[in-house]
Amino acid sequence: MGIARIGASIIQIPMLWNLHPASRKYNKFVQNFNLAIQRVIARYEEVSGFEEKISKDNENDDSNDSMLALMSNAGFSREVIADEIKTMLGAGYETTSTTVELLLVMLALYPKYQNECRQEVDAIFNNDIKCPSGKLTLETLSEMKHLERCLFETMRMYPAGPIVGRKLETALKINNELEIPVGTTVGIPIVLLHRCPKNFPEPDQFQPDRFLAENCIKRHPIRTCRFQRVLGVALVPEIRFLFLAMKLAIMEAKTLVAYILREFEVETSDKIEDVTHIPSITVQLERGYYFRFKKRMDVPAGV
């Protein structure tokens, strides 16, 4: 419903949108969704209390309660926490599943990078200290640098949010004749930023090493705005709690792909150009990719 409204300029006008039949269904959905989020926060406060829970939470606990505690301890208001939970839910499911699918395609099309990621994953799984009982931890996930770079490069080429909207706090002067006034919502084409040769040479090539630390430092943050949310967590302590949704999505994607690479070799008969994208707020594939998961013969016994 929200996507349909964006695509129809006439119902961008609030008065006309409120008269549209879809607006009632949309408003009801938003109301119920917001109430559900508030109930989650209220239940957390009631059961454990923010102050008490924070003192007990382990820093590496990745539960929902721990995330709520971290945000509260950082001084976030109830409203900001609610917004982060909404983003977390959005980033953690639909967009993550599509990004994982695209990452598997890239690894299938580029066996060299798939093998590098598999060697990295095997080294972690084969270490009983790093991976007790065959279970990944937050610490070991952070060590998967090859896989992370492949994921970031996939996100660069196929951003989960191809376009984002931002409301101008100051007037934006385009040229001598055109100025966009304060309060206007503008669309920022993330996909064009990521495919611009000035920002990323040979933008249509899959090159995960773009995200080596030494290469990231050379680029202006605006050129990698999606990734600054993740990279900024380590580089700028003041914003480490602002992007929990992105961190959650990264952890989910790395976990799923790591377990797949541990047991299978991934192949595909498709090519990137075989599948087209549907214009949408989030990345949407017209159809799924075809995969072949070939059971590894060299995987250690018991896996």
Q: Is the pLDDT confidence value at 282 over 90? A: no
Q: Which tens digit of pLDDT belongs to each residue from 88-133?
A: 666 556 678 888 988 999 999 999 999 999 999 999 999 988 888 8
Q: Is the pLDDT confidence value at 53 over 60? A: no
The answer regarding whether domain 93-295 maps to CATH 1.10.630.10 reads yes
Of the two residues 17 and 255, the one the predictor is more confident about is 255
Q: Which tens digit of pLDDT belongs to each residue from 166-182?
A: 888 899 888 888 899 99
- How many CB atoms are closer than 10 A to CB 296? 15
Per-residue pLDDT at 61: 46
Amino acid at 132: P
Q: Which tens digit of pLDDT belongs to each residue from 238-249?
A: 334 445 667 777
Is the CB of residue 121 less than 8 Å from the CB of residue 279? no
Of the two residues 77 and 283, the one the predictor is more confident about is 77
Measured CA distances, 3 to 22, 91, 93, 183, 191 (Å)? 11, 17, 18, 21, 18
Per-residue pLDDT at 232: 35
Per the rule left: phi > 0, alpha: psi between -120 and 50, beta: everything else, 49 is: left
Among 47-51, 58-62, 78-82, 262-266, the range scoring the smallest mean pLDDT is: 58-62
Per-residue pLDDT at 8: 55
Query: What is the average per-residue pLDDT within 157-161?
Result: 81
Of the two residues 257 and 31, the one the predictor is more confident about is 257
Q: Where are the domains of the chain?
A: 1-76, 93-295
Per-residue pLDDT at 242: 43
Report phi then psi at 99, rounded to 5: -65, -40
- Could you tell me the pLDDT band of residue 300, with boundaries at 50, 70 and 90? low
Beta strand spans in the chain (E): 163-167, 172-173, 179-180, 185-189, 264-267, 277-278, 284-285, 292-295
Q: Is the pLDDT confidence value at 48 over 60? A: no
Among 55-59, 211-215, 260-264, the range scoring the smallest mean pLDDT is: 55-59
Per-residue pLDDT at 138: 85
Query: What is the average per-residue pLDDT within 282-291?
Result: 77
> Quick check: pTM over 0.75?
no
Per-residue pLDDT at 113: 97
